[in-house]
Amino acid sequence: MTKRLWIETVGCQMNVLDSELVVAALRRQGWEMAPAADAADAVFYNTCSVRQHAEDKIYSALGRIRSVKAKRPDVVVGVLGCMAQKDQEQIRKRAPWVDLVVGPGQLHQVPTLVDDVLAGGGPRIEVSLDRKAGSRDAIARSFESYDPDRDAAMRPTPFQAFIRTQTGCDKFCAFCVVPHVRGPEQARSPETIVAEARKLVAEGCREITLIGQTVNSYKWSDGGRTTRLADLLALLDAIDGLDRIKFVTNYPRDMTDDLIAAVRDLPKVCHYLHVPAQHGSDDVLGRMKRGYTIGEYMEMHGRIRAAIPHAAVTSDFIVGFCGETDAEFQTTLDLVKTVGFKNSFIFKYSPRPGTKAFDRLPDDVPEEVKKERNRLLLEAQEEVSLAGNRRFVGTRQQVLVEGLSTRDEKRAVDPGPDGVAQLTGRTMCDRIIVFDAPTRLVGRLVDIDILAAGAWSLSGVVADGLADAVPLDTLDFSGDTTPLYDISLPHSKPQAATSEPSRG
Ligand code: SAH
Ligand code: F3S
């Protein structure tokens, strides 16, 4: 009998990609997607450890699945990804009904492990070495690369795909758990990356987003030849049938002139650079061990602006980091206003066991203060984003149509390929545009005349007469931001992913 799988994904794009790959591997072994967790033979949680909140969500979900497991003891419950690597056997201590704990460096084992558990082999924990448990090489080897074949049907939008350039991170920012749970930085060869891109494009993919924790630190040396991100972008830009290339996340110190020139000159590369500053104060950046000053960040930003004046630059910020004073917080507010980020992802500091900040610096900013600073920074960013977006009103922008808007997705009415719905797409600068058009345009590049701007999205009409003008008062700007982080994605509608747009 066919076995059925349910998987829930939280965290960043790495996790979205890992889930796609795990599901693809299991589908090749005859598994199908279940319509709900309580109808599945295996329930997986692909987890995130970057903040406590993400872990709490998973422990609550494990609490809920307990009753399913009590009724159907054969169901395999699996915790995959970063929490598995971080908490290891602690997970089974807190939730003894968990059968599988598999770290991000061991995902290739999932198909065998599930079969073993189903065959009555008992619970299994498979994780990689801790960062202090051996030589760099041994640790790196224990985080095995995971490159099974892709499965377009398992992507929310088959015409968009992530490709990994590197795994892991060696920067060890004081607050960050990623180097501990994802292991040492290891690049994939340019040949592997380009071959994967060609295959995806042959299967209908039109936009590729390269992902790495510090994607612009990418470096591959082979027989005296070194390939950096700028070279890789040039190789990908030459692929026929591919429309757009993006890459995240950038590390400020590695934003070299050749990379900025590549973004400016290669026609398919989007003018969108996510380069987290994290904070506006040199003292805090020092405590965070980020490895640059605000002067250096501004110098880098100046080079981007000089080369590509309209480029969209975005950032992450942490508020309430250890010892952050009011005056230090003010410098972050000032930075947001000075730089004019297209948008920022703002996080309240969450102490992570195993990190330098956790071991050495007290988490001394009260939660209420963190909340208030978060609110103030978001408010400042909203103003900056609105001002930035307003400059686009009256212009014509090419967008890649991604799917139904959040509003129409919530309505859950399928208008059919010729039916007009409210759709969303993104410009070359990653700005979200909302417009009414037939749903058959999903996955295509379309010119839109921009009529109005909100802080998080713009709205307009299709420029080539495919749709009637939309009365402005019917447009809904709320909630149309797709977050870079804290994506929460149940793999609930696998069939829908191939036949209809499913992401707003
Ligand atoms: N380089 C990675 C960063 C992963 S973490 C990338 O691909 O984006 C994403 C963001 O979460 C970081 O940029 C940082 O702003 C935030 N973050 C990381 N650790 C955190 C912590 N302990 N508390 C709060 N926010 C954190
Ligand atoms: Fe984390 Fe800093 Fe690396 S934020 S992922 S340690 S660059």
Can you tell me which atom of ligand 2 is nearest the CA of 182?
A: 5
Rounded Cα distance, 274 and 343, in Å = 9
Closest among 240, 178, 18 to 108, alpha carbons compared? 18
Q: Which CATH number fits domain 4-133: 3.30.390.30, 3.40.50.300, 2.30.110.10, 3.40.50.12160?
A: 3.40.50.12160
Higher pLDDT, 289 or 466: 289
Fold annotation for 155-390: pyruvate-formate lyase- activating enzyme (3.80.30)
Q: Residue 169 CA: which ligand 2 atom is closest?
A: 3
CA distance 233 to 228: 9
Q: What is the pLDDT of residues 81-91, one digit of tens each?
A: 999 999 999 99
Answer yes or no: is the C-beta of 443 below 6 A from any ligand 2 atom: no
pLDDT category at 418 given cuts 50, 70, 90 is confident
Indicate the range of 166-175, 249-258, 414-423 predicted with least confidence.
414-423
Give the side-chain half-sphere CA count within 13 A for 156: 20
Q: Is the peptide bond before 249 cis (omega within 30 degrees of 0)?
A: yes
Contact predicate 467/441, CB 8 Å: no
What φ, ψ does residue 243 adopt, rounded to 5°?
-100, -40
- For residue 10, how many other CB atoms are within 10 A of its CB? 26
Q: Counting atoms of ligand 1 from 1, which one is nearest the CA of 357?
A: 22
> Which of 213, 275, 484 best tests ligand 2's pocket when mutated (most atoms within 8 Å of CB)?
213
Q: For a substitution probing ligand 1, which of 16, 49, 173, 176 has the most ligand atoms within 8 Å of its CB? A: 176
pLDDT above 90 as % of the chain: 84
- 277, amino acid identity: A
The band of 475, judged by pLDDT with boundaries at 50, 70 and 90, is very low
Helix ranges, 203-347 (H) = 229-237, 257-265, 282-288, 294-307, 326-339
79: closest CA among 31, 33, 120, 44?
A: 44
Tens of pLDDT, residue by residue over 71-80, are 999 999 999 9
User: If one looks up domain 396-474 in CATH, what number appears?
Assistant: 2.40.50.700
Domain spans, the chain? 4-133, 155-390, 396-474
| Ligand 1 binding pocket includes 318 (Cβ within 6 Å) | yes
**Token representation of residue 159:** 């015409």
Are 155-390 and 396-474 in the same CATH fold?
no
pLDDT digits (tens, 9 = 90+) for 9-54: 999 999 999 999 999 999 999 999 999 998 999 999 999 999 999 9
Q: Is the pTM for the entire model greater than 0.75?
A: yes
Q: 188-225, pLDDT tens digit by residue?
A: 999 999 999 999 999 999 999 999 999 999 999 998 99
Q: How far is CA 203 from the centre of its chain?
A: 22
Q: Is 184 helix (H, G, I), strand (E, B) or coil?
A: coil
Rounded mean pLDDT, 236-248: 97
Task: Collect all residues with Cβ–Cβ distance below 8 Å to 370 and sequence separation of at least 6.
Answer: 319, 320, 348, 349
Q: What is the DSSP letter of 473?
A: G
Nearest alpha-carbon partner for 238 in 274, 203, 269: 269
